[in-house]
Structure 1
Amino acid sequence: MDIERTYDASAEREDASATPRDGRPPRRAVPPAVPPRPSAPPPPAPAAPPQEDAPVPDGPPGAPFLAWLRTPRPQAAPGVWAFAHRPKPAEEPVKVPARQLLGGALIALLSCWLLWSLLWNSFLGGLWMWPLFNFTAESWRSGMTFVVLSYGYYALTAAVLLFFFGRLGRWPEVWRRWGAPLVRRLWDDGGEPPPVAPAPREDPAEWPRLRAAGAHAAADRLAADARAGLMNDVDHARIEVAWRAATARSGRLAALTDTVLRHGAAACPHPSGARDLGVRTARHDLVARQVRIGTAAEDRRNPYAHRGTGCALDPGLLGTSLLAVGPPGSGKTERLVRPVLESLCLQALAGRAAVVAVGMGAPSARSAAGEGADLAPDDAFDVVVKIGRPDSEYDLDLYGGTDDPDEAAGVLAEGLVGDLAGTQPGADGRRAATALAQLLGPYRAAHGRFPSVPELRGLLDGSPGALGALRTALTAGGQEGLLRELDARERQAERPGDVAPLLADRLALLDRPAFAGFFDTAHPGRTFSLRTLEHPLRVRVDLPGRGHAEASRLLARLVLAQFTECAASRADRSLFACLVLDDATSAVTADSVRGLQRLRSAHAGAVLTLRTLDDVPEALRGPLLGSVGCRMAFSGVTTWDGALFAEVWGKEWVETRDVTDRQVVAHDPFSRSMHVLRRLISGRAVTAQSVTVRTVERERWSASELAHAVPPGHAVLSVTSVGGASAPPVLVDLRR
């Protein structure tokens, strides 16, 4: 029994739903040729951690990976980078100005020294020593006992003085602010001793769970590969997933152990055979399933517990979906979409996720070199659908891979006229779905497949030849009962305001020479369907570029509708499914907003970016912000967009201090003369301050602050986990 190809069943289903154009099957995993060890070292371990993370010691080839694996990851608030995180105190300490703090400490030190000198060298010394002479026997004063008591008395007095003046001069705070960092810096410069490896029962590099189950040989093999530098973070995560799957089924543990003994860190490969991405641009932690996108700024508007901490995203947050709004050039693609997509691709290689990325196609000159899309290169994906490009190996299923005509009609109607609902007479989603179902059902019954784009356009146009041929095929196949659907369609076509001409006009956007080789239902061998979300696939869909803007928006709506439908209807929801839509302009509709709300319970989520909320119908802006759990406002948003974010983020209770200056009026001659003297010296009248402290309710972030106070390269991010935990909006520096 062997499970070295953990995803064989999934790969077989992939072959049936996504086959390249030339008939070749998708890339499959190939086990290493040499059983004891891979013939070539795996991809490198994670990059060196940043300055605030745990240090990477020198040593064997696997030392950086082992240091990364052993770094603690304490529990943190949602959205906080857990790798080597150091929690802050619950409340912000009172920050005394440095000049005042050092001055007070120096005055307290001088006062302490002065009092000590007086106790030694003045008449106060007698009073100070009086208790010692009065409460001790006279016979003690000539022996060593009295000497010991004297020095103890001196030490006790010194301790009392130091404690009193230390509290008075805030010496502990001076030590925490300047003394401790200086000593720590000197210690680091002198060389820090190498960390001691934890005990095997607690060391994650020793695979304690495998040892607890009795698989000591497999644990030794994996630990040896880790020490030799033959394992990376993807291998560790992938084998952990395979281990959990094996323990959930009886009889699979022995097969997994045998596979690990033969292949080591290369065991249980992804169907593509890849063990890492070619290039990483972000910092990832596959143990916590996080990707770091920035650092919370040291800003007064940020909660104290978040200032200076790393900000990260994970499937537990993306499962509530994320909406990012910012003008072009604000960094949505580079600083958010790419890191998140990279993290999801790594998790797909580990068998934890399935990702579908949708973006604009790249210029042909770049794509010919394999660096096609702006989101990620081609080799980072298992399936790349380049709509309108002759070099595309895959096609997109226009009907979402379903066999149900009603379901296919509903999804297709959402893509064709979903953006026109409520804005154009007759553009109703239900009427459009009904009209399409009246044609798709009979056509599938007659031909065993759904119509292609030209065939469906002819049926929607009411072409006598197309409808007559369909009637003949139904009669010849014994499907006379479905002729009533065609009769109903013909009757509705005669009524004013019929939706079929509008559907035909929209479908004409896809019936162009550039798309002649796509959406072909007669040869489905190379068609990709979103029904494959049950497998750990990495998919990129390149929308057509220049000259086909409306077709791109239509296809974006169609993919979003298919994803929400397919993700919610999965039978196996163990994988986290995520859709990354780089530009959701005109893709947000009433049905898609309702679909986003269903993703949370389906272990799925979506990442949507918008240039402005004006790209969304006014009636849907509030529901869209309410349907997602993670919201992100980049620098440069308008005050109109900022007002919507400020409203959804709500208000909080804050403490305000109102300081009022009033002039002091003197009545006696001496006070008047002193006031005149102070006014001559300072140039200002003598005043007294009155402070009023109040608790008021204010917006967390106002529309004006979001529009004008967010620096370039920053964004305000609020997150909510699938479990309901949330974090307030935080100003994030995306460049760190």
Structure 2
Amino acid sequence: MAHDGSHHHGERTTTRHPSPLPHQRPGAATPFDLPSWACAPRPEAEPGIYRLGYRRIDPERAEAAKVAAWPLLLRAGLNAVVAWLAFVYGVEFAIAGTTMIGVLPSRSAFVATSVVLTLNVLVLGIAIKIFGRMGRWLEVWRRYVAPLLSRTVTQEERAEEEAPAGGEAVRRQDPWDGLREGGAGEAAARLDGEAVGDVDYVRIQRAWESAQADPVFVPAFIEQVAARGAAAFAHPSESRELPGRREQHDLLVGQVRLGTAQDVPKNPMGHRAAGFALDPALLGTSVLAVGPAGTGKTARLARPVAEALCLQALAGTACAVVVGAADADLGPDAWYDVVIAPGEPSSAYGLDLYGVAQSPDEAAARLAEALLPEELTARTENARTALQQVVGPFHAAYGRYPGVRELRALLAGDPDALAALVKALGTVGRLAVHERDLEYRERQRDRADDPGALLADRLALLDRPAFEGAFATDGTGRPPFAMRVLDHPLRVRVKLPERSHPEAARMLSRLVVGQFVQAAGVREDRSLFAGLVVDDASAALDATAVRGLQRLRGANAGAVLLLRTLVDLPEALRAPLFGAVGCRMAFPGIAPWDGRLFSEAWGTHLVQETAVTHTPDTSGGVIRRVGRVGRKALSGTTAQTESVTTRDVERLRWSPSDLAHALPAGHAVVSLTAVSGEQVPPLLVDLRG
């Protein structure tokens, strides 16, 4: 019976090391401040921007901020002097003008005074408008005057000025105001007295939103919170935090901060110097990251995303499947509910080779695609048929799918295995239905191109003592994990035996990725985001998996795929893979032929190109010409004129050469597409924290 994700959590939890308290972050010096975090502003922003603490950038203000202090102050002072002179002489000129046309002498003293004041104000306003803009007085005020004034005011006065109305301040700093207003004041009072972490807060708020959908559930919500406090509605594992948590997360909007977008002209203005983050809206279009080993793909992308998905699973908003080598740093085992390590005898779980198949024919087809490498894809159709000819009859005879050893014997044509299968089919009365398949399989056995022999050889890679009990279907081995449980907030880690059994690891990676893509697409309950992280996807992708990636966008699911180079993939898969994913990342040292695909996908944009031309100066009369001759005789240089031409030209956003040689260490270039279709052009991002 496949593991359904709900029967073994308690057993695993008792063997875990105690996780940190949810209110005390690992390595944090101070307790978690829930009111400040929950009530902090999170302004709407473009995809990829870390919203917590984000402030929109005014382009004019950003340009002004680049001006150095002394040139800024000097220009402001000169404009102030000129503005004063313009004001003084402008007022005199205006008064003289009104006197000439007879306005002032013919009016009373009150009217004359009013006219003079009006002229003063008018001229002063014009002078400030013109010279204040040229002198950037607002920037001087923001940089120097305003901070100086704020330091002269006492702390008490600032507190009085900044504090809003009392009731509004209390409401904005109360993370449980929704519960109080919705009639769950008792639950809010219980939570006020406890240390609540961000995982707890998001999980309880999600439960509250579900309870509000039907008032009948509100009393049950209040009862649960009153009984368990911050542990209410806990994850089945009872974990409320991840040990060894490193990254900066904002679980309220599902973001994990990976770095900072650089303040460079190639980056869009809104992203410059802003935090760079990924969330389910971006992961839902899937991420492809390419870069050689040692450039930080695992440490700066795969592990943080795995950490984010595991935290979201604890909060009840996601499920995570993380695939990588046994020694890959994708978080400790304590992060996960299910750890599948086929090469380790101590592993608690096995893997269901047949996944979420709805029929024996479908199960055989998926297994055939996983067993054969891409160089043998031409034989996939025959292999699929051969597997169906034995899997279907076996399932009909025994009510289960065959294990690795049983399947290998049937494909190799073992007489005893075939005889036992025929006898079992006769016992259940299904021999007539499957007799033709078995006869055809028997005829194929003696042919030189028998796909059954090829499949038997491939299965021999999984029929090793190191994998004993890892793929059992008869209940004698480890409990098999089946990918059909993606509608539960499970955290799954698949450890591939890449060092000891590299070819078996490649087969298993294809199998797991194929099962995930299939399972995520057929889920009936898609309320949880289903996230897949593959640390090395070079052998995990085939044509079926690439087609399935495109369907994940509408299934509230997505994948993060890491590659050392696109050359590891068959050429026929490279362009379709680029089209199937919405987010693309290039790491330093990427090969030029890989960079060409990124460059073509990112296209061109208009840039202003300035050309400077120098020509000999031949202007002027006799005196200027004599002067130029003398200058040339004395200095050896010819007087020249300079002409500047500016035009818009199309240039590649990032050329293959730039991607291969110009990226600094610890950085990456990433383009983003959200599930909604909103796109962000390539960003240069510093991923070093």
TM superposition score normalised by structure 2: 0.89
Q: Tell me, what secondary structure is at the counterpart of 1:445?
A: helix
Give the CA deviation at 1:658.
2.4
Cα deviation digits, residues 278-316 of structure 1 (max 9, x gap): 221110001111000011011121112211111110011
Task: Tell me the residue number matched to 1:490.
Answer: 442
Task: Tell me the residue number matched to 2:341.
Answer: 386
Choose which of 375, 381, 402 in structure 2 pairs with 1:451.
402
1:205 partner amino acid = D
Task: Tell me the residue number matched to 1:240.
Answer: 205
2:242 partner amino acid = L
Conserved? CA contact 1:16–1:525, under 8 Å = no
Give the CA deviation at 1:560.
0.4
Give the CA deviation at 1:657.
2.6
Instruction: Give the whole-Å Cα distance in 1 for the aligned partners of 2:264 and 2:453.
Output: 56
Q: Tell me, what secondary structure is at the counterpart of 2:168?
A: coil
1:400 partner amino acid = G
2:214 counterpart of 1:214: no
Conserved? CA contact 1:166–1:172, under 8 Å = yes
Task: Tell me the residue number matched to 2:137.
Answer: 171
Cα deviation digits, residues 472-499 of structure 1 (max 9, x gap): 2222332212122111212233344222
Instruction: Give the whole-Å Cα distance in 2 for the aligned partners of 1:673 and 1:269.
Output: 92
Q: Tell me, what secondary structure is at the counterpart of 2:657?
A: helix
2:688 counterpart of 1:722: no
Instruction: Give the whole-Å Cα distance in 1 for the aligned partners of 2:671 and 2:367.
Output: 34
Task: Tell me the residue number matched to 1:526.
Answer: 479
Conserved? CA contact 2:225–2:232, under 8 Å = yes
Name structure 1 gaps, 5 residues minimum.
Answer: 1-12, 29-39, 50-55, 363-372
Choose which of 375, 379, 387 in structure 2 pairs with 1:436.
387
2:138 partner amino acid = P
Conserved? CA contact 1:642–1:706, under 8 Å = yes
2:237 counterpart of 1:284: no
Give the CA deviation at 1:688.
2.7
2:36 counterpart of 1:86: no
Instruction: Give the whole-Å Cα distance in 2 for the aligned partners of 1:192 and 1:676.
Output: 69
Conserved? CA contact 1:439–1:459, under 8 Å = yes
Task: Tell me the residue number matched to 1:108.
Answer: 79
2:236 counterpart of 1:271: yes
1:318 partner amino acid = L
Cα deviation digits, residues 71-91 of structure 1 (max 9, x gap): 111111011111121112367
Conserved? CA contact 2:5–2:488, under 8 Å = no
The 3 A distance-change label for structure 1 pair 539 and 187 is farther
Conserved? CA contact 1:18–1:525, under 8 Å = no
Give the CA deviation at 1:139.
7.8
Q: Tell me, what secondary structure is at the counterpart of 1:567?
A: helix
2:176 partner amino acid = W
Cα deviation digits, residues 1-43 of structure 1 (max 9, x gap): xxxxxxxxxxxx99656766xx985559xxxxxxxxxxx9942
Instruction: Give the whole-Å Cα distance in 2 for the aligned partners of 1:603 and 1:679.
Output: 74
2:431 counterpart of 1:460: no
Instruction: Give the whole-Å Cα distance in 2 for the aligned partners of 1:87 and 1:48.
Output: 31
- The 5-angstrom pairing of residues 66-465 of structure 1 reads 66-89=35-58, 98=68, 101-112=72-83, 135=104, 140=109, 160-176=126-142, 193=159, 199=168, 203=172, 205-222=174-191, 224-225=192-193, 230-249=195-214, 251-362=216-327, 374-400=329-355, 402=357, 404-422=359-377, 427-465=378-416
1:665 partner amino acid = T
Cα deviation digits, residues 164-214 of structure 1 (max 9, x gap): 433443433444566557767888999974865872896373434334433
Task: Tell me the residue number matched to 1:6.
Answer: none
Choose which of 429, 439, 451 in structure 2 pairs with 1:499.
451
Which stretch of the first structure deviates more once superposed, 483-492 or 323-332? 483-492
Cα deviation digits, residues 439-477 of structure 1 (max 9, x gap): 111112222222211111111111222222212222233
Instruction: Give the whole-Å Cα distance in 2 for the aligned partners of 1:337 and 1:92.
Output: 37
The 3 A distance-change label for structure 1 pair 688 and 190 is farther
Instruction: Give the whole-Å Cα distance in 1 for the aligned partners of 2:122 and 2:633.
Output: 51
Identity of aligned residues (%): 46
Instruction: Give the whole-Å Cα distance in 1 for the aligned partners of 2:157 and 2:354.
Output: 64
Give the CA deviation at 1:578.
1.0
Cα deviation digits, residues 52-103 of structure 1 (max 9, x gap): xxxx9x9xx66x2211111111111011111121112367865685476555
Instruction: Give the whole-Å Cα distance in 1 for the aligned partners of 2:230 and 2:464.
Output: 49
Which stretch of the first structure deviates more once superposed, 286-295 or 89-98? 89-98
Instruction: Give the whole-Å Cα distance in 2 for the aligned partners of 1:152 and 1:278.
Output: 71
Conserved? CA contact 2:4–2:484, under 8 Å = no
Q: Tell me, what secondary structure is at the counterpart of 2:585?
A: strand
2:41 partner amino acid = P
Conserved? CA contact 1:18–1:526, under 8 Å = no
Q: Tell me, what secondary structure is at the counterpart of 2:486?
A: helix
1:534 partner amino acid = D
Conserved? CA contact 1:91–1:304, under 8 Å = no
Give the CA deviation at 1:642.
0.6
Instruction: Give the whole-Å Cα distance in 1 for the aligned partners of 2:204 and 2:653.
Output: 44
Give the CA deviation at 1:719.
1.1
Conserved? CA contact 2:317–2:489, under 8 Å = yes
Task: Tell me the residue number matched to 1:36.
Answer: none
2:462 counterpart of 1:514: no
Conserved? CA contact 2:104–2:112, under 8 Å = no
Name structure 2 gaps, 5 residues minimum.
Answer: none
What root-mean-square deviation, in Å, do the aligned CA atoms of Structure 1 and Structure 2 show?
3.6
Conserved? CA contact 1:567–1:577, under 8 Å = yes
Instruction: Give the whole-Å Cα distance in 1 for the aligned partners of 2:454 and 2:156.
Output: 76
Cα deviation digits, residues 598-654 of structure 1 (max 9, x gap): 211211111110011111111111110110011111111011111000111122233
Instruction: Give the whole-Å Cα distance in 2 for the aligned partners of 1:416 and 1:653.
Output: 48
Instruction: Give the whole-Å Cα distance in 2 for the aligned partners of 1:92 and 1:703.
Output: 34
Cα deviation digits, residues 676-699 of structure 1 (max 9, x gap): 466578864333333333222222
Conserved? CA contact 2:260–2:273, under 8 Å = yes
TM superposition score normalised by structure 1: 0.83
Cα deviation digits, residues 111-156 of structure 1 (max 9, x gap): 4456678899xx9999699689971679849xxx999987887666
Task: Tell me the residue number matched to 1:558.
Answer: 511
Task: Tell me the residue number matched to 1:639.
Answer: 592
Q: Tell me, what secondary structure is at the counterpart of 1:735?
A: coil
Choose which of 482, 493, 498 in structure 2 pairs with 1:540.
493
Which stretch of the first structure deviates more once superposed, 538-547 or 212-221? 212-221
Instruction: Give the whole-Å Cα distance in 1 for the aligned partners of 2:112 and 2:561.
Output: 81
Give the CA deviation at 1:236.
1.0
Conserved? CA contact 1:92–1:304, under 8 Å = no
Instruction: Give the whole-Å Cα distance in 2 for the aligned partners of 1:185 and 1:41.
Output: 40
Choose which of 15, 18, 22 in structure 2 pairs with 1:43.
22
Conserved? CA contact 1:351–1:575, under 8 Å = yes
The 3 A distance-change label for structure 1 pair 14 and 257 is farther
Which stretch of the first structure deviates more once superposed, 589-598 or 495-504? 495-504
Instruction: Give the whole-Å Cα distance in 2 for the aligned partners of 1:650 and 1:187.
Output: 53
Instruction: Give the whole-Å Cα distance in 2 for the aligned partners of 1:603 and 1:284.
Output: 20
- The 5-angstrom pairing of residues 676-687 of structure 1 reads 676=629, 684-687=637-640
Choose which of 473, 490, 493 in structure 1 pairs with 2:424.
473
Instruction: Give the whole-Å Cα distance in 1 for the aligned partners of 2:52 and 2:635.
Output: 54
Q: Tell me, what secondary structure is at the counterpart of 2:174?
A: helix
